[in-house]
Amino acid sequence: DKFFIDEKTFSKVDKSESSWYLDEDEGDIHIVMIKAHRGQVWDSVLMGNCGIASQGTVDPLTQEAIRKDMMLERFQEEHPGFDFRDAEFNGNVPEPREFLGGVQYR
């Protein structure tokens, strides 16, 4: 068998939660991969054959914005009575997976 995409993902994927679908109007295949480790920021979705991030690498500014969104989402989940929509971070945004004990699973 030959695979259309034969590269490793940046990190583990939850196969049971991931899926794909065909957009018949556009003729596109959409692949939805769910990260196995919540709160982890990936440099890219796929790793090249040499083990480095392949095309589509996320630039540092976008990574910072992703970390901010993940931190705000985490704060909202952990403190549902508060509104974090206008919250801001001073300096670098911490890693959501590790900050203050890490992501709590339900």
At 61-81, the pLDDT tens digits run 888 888 888 888 888 888 888
Distance CA 92, CA 10 (A): 23
Q: Is 104 helix (H, G, I), strand (E, B) or coil?
A: coil
Q: pTM score, two decimals?
A: 0.55
Q: Mind listing the pLDDT tens digit for each residue in 7-58?
A: 888 889 999 999 999 999 999 999 999 988 877 888 788 887 555 666 667 7
Residues in the chain: 106
**Exposure b/e, 51-60, CB count within 10 A at least 16 = b:** eebbeeebee
Q: Is 62 helix (H, G, I), strand (E, B) or coil?
A: helix
Q: Which phi-psi region, left, alpha or beta, contains residue 40 (left: φ > 0; alpha: ψ -120 to 50)?
A: beta
What was the pLDDT predicted at 103?
A: 63
Which helix (H) or strand (E) segment holds residue 35: the answer is: none
